[in-house]
Amino acid sequence: MPEPAVHAFAARHIWLAPHMRVCTLDALSILLDLRRGRYLGLGAEQSRHLSEWVQDWPSDEHASSPESPCDLPPAFVTRLLNRGVLTTEAPSQTNRVRLPAACHSLDTRDLSTELQVSPGRVASFVRAAASATLWLRCRSLQAIAAHLERVRGSRTRTRAEGASTSLNGQAAMFVSVATFDMLRPLAFTSRDRCLFDSLALMNLLHLDGLDARWVIGVKDRPFAAHAWVQQDDLVLNDLHEHVRRFTPILIV
């Protein structure tokens, strides 16, 4: 592949590629490739180089300009450019979404024992689970994230035009998640299937006209990734004490 333009190096016009996400864990960094569904761990020295050269790198140590306009980046940065992990094209929009720290967990056990689930609600659950299965088989994480963003944007515009729901938003959320918790054992288990579980719940919430955030987080020592659904500081399908062990790398 051809080498990136020298003038991009001189001006440090380097960004993360649109399909990449990153989070920092102390001096280390984790990259998520949404196209391939793969993670890349970076050591302290590599992370430092990227914080100096990449414009939107999440670090306070970002260097605004090189000491010399002719300085060239380390070979590591050049390799990432050639592999498409980094780009010399400025992003059209920011990918960062801020989410409050998880402080509470939604407990639906009391409501689940009394909830009457109609055939229509069962059908919605089956549709939500089937869509999650199809997405994970046929779509990349990038395509899934883009779809969820479009759905959220469309619903936001509809509400701005005066649409309303029959139930209070918080109560509707509680009922929707309780329905999901009640029906989930009939179709699948959330054990070791957090990605599927979270997407199925997101689909059911969307069918009910509700919004939440789909989150993927990572941790090191040892490395692990986890997915969950969160609304503000409330975790909908996990314990907040558990998800706080993970640093969000993707928030949709």
pLDDT of residue 58: 86
Model confidence band, residue 73 (pLDDT cutoffs 50, 70, 90): confident
pLDDT in tens, 133-150: 999 999 999 999 999 999
Model confidence band, residue 8 (pLDDT cutoffs 50, 70, 90): low
pLDDT of residue 207: 94
Q: pTM for this structure?
A: 0.86
Ranges of each domain in the chain: 6-87, 104-251
Write the DSSP string, the chain.
-PPPPHHHHHHT--EE-TTEEEEEETTEEEEEETTTTEEEEE-HHHHHHHHHH-TT-S-TT--SS-SSTT----HHHHHHHHTTSEESSPPSS------PPP-EE---HHHHTTPPPPHHHHHHHHHHHHHHHHHHHH--HHHHHHHHHHHHHHHHHHHHTT---SS-HHHHHHHHHHHHHHHHHHH---TT-HHHHHHHHHHHHHHTT---EEEEEEETTTTEEEEEEEETTEESSS-HHHHTTSEEEEE-
